[in-house]
Amino acid sequence: QVQVMESGDTLVQAGGSLKLSCRASGLEPGGAYAMGWFRQAPGKEREGIASISWSGGSRVYADSVKARFKISRDNTLDTLYLQMNNLVPEDTATYYCVLGPFTTDVRELAFISPRGQGTQVTVSS
């Protein structure tokens, strides 16, 4: 069974940077899969924010994070990353990584069931 383990909960000040990680396990050998991140703020709907293809050659971002976040992956470690820069309080949310077909519409990521507990990111003003 595929599982993911995301990095720990973090508190950061506005304007700061943070790098999330997500390691997948239980994957089929030789499988090629896209990955992505969605987030959910308290009292709000899920928001798909970034998607990356298996090779890493294709990446898509939500407008809300496009200029500040960068998604990457290391397939040798089965690990997905999200570099977040210039954080603002509105980025406060629980962040989840997901696996699935690559999509150019990151909104679709919000409908993929997460396999981990998520990472709580809190940005203080």
pLDDT at 115: 87
Q: Is the sign of the CA dihedral 107, 112, 113, 118 positive or negative?
A: negative
Residue 31 clears pLDDT 80, i.e. is over it = no
What pLDDT is stored for residue 54 in this prediction?
A: 94
If you compute the radius of gyration of the chain from its CA atoms, what whole number of angstroms results?
13
pLDDT at 30: 75
- For residue range 74-87, what is the model confidence (pLDDT) as tens digits? 999 999 999 999 99
Greatest distance between any 2 Cα atoms in the chain: 44
Residues 6+ apart with CB under 8 A from 66: none
Give the pLDDT score at 68.
98
At residue 1 the predicted structure's pLDDT band, cuts being 50, 70 and 90, is: confident
Alpha-carbon gap, residue 49 to 63, rounded angstroms: 8
> How many C-beta atoms lie closer than 10 Å to residue 117's C-beta?
12
